[in-house]
Structures are given as structure tokens and as C-alpha cells.
Amino acid sequence: MDLKHVLLIDDNDIDIYISKHIVNSSKMAEKITVKNSAVEALEYLSTLMENSEAFPDTIFLDISMPVMDGFGFLDQYSKFPEYMTEKPHIFMLTSSSDADDIERVSKIKFVKKYLTKPLSLTMLKSLQF
């Protein structure tokens, strides 16, 4: 399984370092893009509207971030054109084990799975893309 482009959306530098290391060591991705906020990620994705080939195949999204959380990101992301919202596999990658968050995520059609940090090689290899 090859992932051409992975987008990590997280505000925690340590979690970003771990996730990048795991994805790189898996040799499953050709490109990893990191955005430190949901707002920054939405702006970045907006620039790709004219170039759907450059759109990420997989997005790992944190829930707890300042200004706009992961749920706010998904709300805004749902307003993107359908050809953009169908392409990437979105995984919530978060330190939250809150049952309400897990339930809320389960109702969002874009999100494939809820993952608890830190990302591990075993976890990554078990995902269905």
C-alpha cells in the first residue's frame, strides 16, 4: 500500500515528530506535509482546488488545537467540492480518549477511523486505505 501524499494536522511538535518518523520509516508515503493548525491546513487545501492531483491521499487530524479544533476543520472541510472531500482518507489522530469525541467522530462520513496517539508503525500498517 502506497500513500503518495500524507497531510499531518497537529499543533504539538513532539507528536508531529513521532508521526513523521513513523510514516517515513514505513516507506509508505512519498511526501509528508505538516500544518500546525486547522486554519493553516484549510488554507493549504484551498490552494490545491485547481490541482486535485496534488491533494493529499491521507490526512491525520488532531482534535485538540487552539483557534479551530479538528471538528471545526471537518465542518469547514465539508464545504469543499465533493471531488476533494472524497479523495483523502481522514484519520483522527488524537490524545483524547473521550467517549463523546469518539461517538462524534463515528458520525462524520469523511473520517475513516479514530486513532489514539502516538502513531505507531503497527497502527499505520493496520489501516485500510
Strand partners, 7: 33, 59
CA diameter of the chain? 38
**How sure is the predictor about 4, in pLDDT bands with cuts at 50, 70 and 90?**
confident
Amino acid letter, 54: A
pTM: 0.93
CB 29 within 8 A of CB 60: no
**How sure is the predictor about 2, in pLDDT bands with cuts at 50, 70 and 90?**
low
How many domains does the structure of the chain reveal? 1
pLDDT digits (tens, 9 = 90+) for 79-103: 998 888 888 999 999 998 889 999 9
Structural domain for 62, as ranges? 3-126
Q: What CATH number is associated with residue 51?
A: 3.40.50.2300
Report which of 87, 86, 90 is spatially closest to residue 63, judged by C-alpha positions: 90
DSSP state of 119: P
3-class SS at 105? helix
pLDDT digits (tens, 9 = 90+) for 9-31: 999 999 999 999 999 999 889 99
Give Cβ neighbours of residue 70 (< 8 Å, ≥ 6 apart): 9, 38, 61, 62, 63, 64, 92, 94
